[in-house]
A = this chain, B = another copy of it.
Amino acid sequence: MSAQTRTEGTDRRRELLSIAAELFADKGFKNTTVRDIADAAGILSGSLYHHFDSKESMVDEILSSFQAELFAAYDEVLRSDDDARTKIERAVRLSFEAIDRRRHEVAIFQNEADFLGQQERFAYLAERNAESRAVWITLLDDGVRSGALRADLDIELTYRFIRDTVWVAVRWYRPGGKLSHTAVADQYLTILLDGIAHA
- Which A residues contact B (CB, under 8 angstroms)? 27-28, 30-31, 85, 111, 114-115, 143, 147-151, 153-154, 157-158, 160-161, 164-165, 168-169, 171-172, 179, 184, 187-188, 191-199
Q: Is the pair B147, A198 in contact by a Cβ cutoff of 8 Å?
A: yes
**Residue from B30, B143, B164, B195 within 8 A of A194 (CB atoms):** B195
Q: Is the pair A148, B198 in contact by a Cβ cutoff of 8 Å?
A: yes
In angstroms, Cα B31 to Cα A180, docked, is 35
**Residue from B27, B150, B161, B179 within 8 A of A157 (CB atoms):** B179
Contacts of A150 in B (CB 8 A): 196-199
Q: Residue on B with the closest CB to A191?
A: B161
